[in-house]
């Protein structure tokens, strides 16, 4: 069986831990009393293997599939990277590789199988070809190209279809995809690191890192799971960051698009993000004929003066059009404040360090400000010597 990938705040890990402790499954699933323990076990495993596609398959969702017969799991598969087999196809290929017949098996799949030709042939065809006679689905696909079509197609072919098993967990795992399908905008994840006084940088010396190695690893993991990373121009001028994924394996995923909010086009032409190989997009409201060697877009706001900068909703629409489903807002304080005051933040990761930066720049991130922006704390964990708070939309 495939190795499991660790992932903090992972609903599947939480679910598994609960089931190991003998605790009840979430209420919604308990009320769906028709499911057997074995069926739940199969879908937990399908969700677990799906996790391996996180950060690798966007703009597709991470999907997992388990094939079972006679009370036993006989094969499993997941959508591993963009352009690769879909989960159902991967599970059928796994069965073939093991020399196990799929005829008469049940497929447990975390998302409704597709029934259209996209980057791969339809999964419904693969399931029919494999002789699957029952399909259990966690969540219906909200993508307009599928939405119910896969289920209808399977039913027409005489396959028994059941749906809704661990649906909440599946929807949580595919949250960014679902959000993007419904609104054509990315979810916004804010990341900030604060010293013991709530400052983000020293105002006296050169910029210096003050969080633990483990926290840095976590930041790179977050970048790996996001399609784009955004900063304000002052951060580019002060820190000259790369904003790439380096400390964790990128696998078959791609580096996130770097986005700079730069109203007056002050980004230095020799900034790391401008001169390196990866993609950077600078959005500005004034100035033309830039010599920046990266993509720039003049984007004066539609309904206010250019002084107020790029309209953030227009920005999210633009990124959504580029199939960006998860946007990581890395700062600094001015940019965080704008996203928070417009209630545009869906999640926040706040790293608290014990280090005192001395005279410093205020981060402007407090529990009150996060709560006022509609967020509630979901966890507080030790990461190295730091404390990491995870906040989520209430
Ligand atoms: N500890 C951490 O987690 C962390 C993370 C990142 C940065 N930092 C630190 O934060 C400091 C920089 O933060 P900061 O608050 O001064 O600045 P910032 O947030 O990096 O950048 C703010 C600037 O970006 C431009 N901008 C912001 N929103 C815009 C919009 N909607 N459209 C167009 N342009 C927009 C504006 O430029 P104009 O003024 O030209 O209008 C604004 O002054 C640095 O010291 C950096 O080291 C710390």
pLDDT tens for 44-53 read: 999 999 999 9
Order of strands, sheet of 347-352, starting from the edge strand that comes earlier in the sequence: 295-298, 280-284, 257-261, 228-232, 326-331, 187-194, 347-352, 386-393, 375-383
Locate the ligand 1 atom nearest the alpha carbon of residue 311 and give its number: 31
Domain total of the chain: 2
Last-in-domain residue among 180, 195, 215: 180
DSSP state of 306: G
In a domain, 148, yes or no: yes
Looking at the annotation, which residues are catalytic? 88
In a domain, 301, yes or no: yes
**What is the per-residue pLDDT for 32?**
58
Residue carrying the six token digits 């608290």: 352
Residues with CB under 6 A from ligand 1: 192-193, 200-201, 207, 231-235, 238-239, 261-264, 266, 285, 309-310, 312, 330-335, 338, 361
In a domain, 5, yes or no: no
**What is the per-residue pLDDT for 3?**
33
Question: Residues 268, 351: one domain?
Answer: yes
Q: Residue 342 has which token pair? A: 């417009």
Q: Cα(290) to centroid of ligand 1, in Å?
A: 20
Closest C-alpha to ligand 1, atom 9: 332
Bridge partner list, 199: 362
CATH number of the domain that 375 lies in? 3.40.430.10
> Which of the residues in the chain have pLDDT under 50?
1-30
Last-in-domain residue among 157, 180, 203: 180
Question: Residues 150, 216: one domain?
Answer: no
**What is the per-residue pLDDT for 19?**
37
Question: Residues 161, 278: one domain?
Answer: no
Question: Residues 253, 376: one domain?
Answer: yes
Question: Residues 135, 213: one domain?
Answer: no
Question: Residues 387, 246: one domain?
Answer: yes
Whether pTM exceeds 0.85: yes
Last-in-domain residue among 180, 209, 224: 180
In a domain, 197, yes or no: yes
Question: Residues 257, 126: one domain?
Answer: no
Give the separation between CA 103 and CA 100, rounded to whole angstroms.
9
Question: Residues 267, 194: one domain?
Answer: yes
**What is the per-residue pLDDT for 284?**
96
- Range of 124's domain? 11-180
């Amino acid at each position: 069986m495939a190795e499991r990938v660790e992932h903090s705040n992972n609903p599947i890990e939480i679910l598994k831990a609960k089931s190991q402790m003998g605790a009840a499954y979430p209420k919604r699933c308990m009320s769906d009393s028709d499911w057997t323990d074995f069926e739940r076990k199969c879908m937990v495993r399908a969700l677990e293997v799906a996790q391996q596609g996180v950060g690798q398959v966007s703009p597709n969702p991470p999907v997992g599939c388990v094939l079972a017969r006679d009370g036993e799991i006989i094969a499993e598969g997941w959508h591993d990277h963009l352009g690769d087999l879909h989960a159902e196809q991967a599970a059928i290929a796994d069965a073939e590789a093991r020399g196990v017949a799929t005829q008469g098996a049940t497929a447990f799949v975390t998302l409704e199988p597709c029934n259209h030709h996209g980057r791969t042939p339809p999964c419904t065809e693969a399931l029919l070809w494999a002789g699957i006679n029952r399909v259990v689905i966690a969540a219906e696909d909200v993508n307009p190209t599928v939405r119910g079509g896969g289920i209808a197609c399977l039913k027409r072919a005489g396959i028994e279809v059941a749906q809704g098993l661990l649906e909440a967990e599946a929807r949580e795992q595919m949250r960014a995809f679902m959000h993007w399908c419904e609104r054509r905008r990315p979810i916004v994840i804010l990341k900030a690191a604060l010293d013991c006084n709530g400052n983000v940088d020293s105002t006296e010396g050169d910029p210096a890192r003050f969080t633990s190695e483990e926290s840095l690893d976590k930041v790179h993991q977050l970048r790996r799971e996001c399609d784009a990373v955004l900063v304000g121009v002052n951060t580019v001028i002060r820190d000259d960051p790369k904003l790439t994924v380096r400390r964790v394996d990128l696998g078959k995923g791609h580096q996130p698009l770097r986005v700079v909010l730069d109203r007056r086009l002050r980004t230095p032409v020799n900034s790391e993000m401008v001169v390196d190989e990866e993609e950077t997009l600078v959005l500005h409201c004034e100035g033309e004929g830039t010599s920046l060697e990266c993509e720039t877009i003049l984007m004066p706001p539609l309904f206010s003066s250019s002084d107020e900068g790029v309209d953030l909703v227009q920005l999210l629409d633009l990124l959504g059009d580029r199939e960006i489903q998860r946007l990581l807002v890395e700062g600094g304080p001015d940019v965080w404040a704008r996203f928070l005051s417009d209630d545009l933040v869906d999640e926040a990761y706040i790293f608290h360090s014990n280090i005192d930066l001395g005279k410093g720049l205020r981060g402007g991130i407090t529990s009150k400000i996060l709560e006022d922006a509609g967020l509630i704390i979901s966890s507080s964990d030790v990461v190295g010597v730091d404390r990491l708070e995870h906040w989520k939309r209430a």
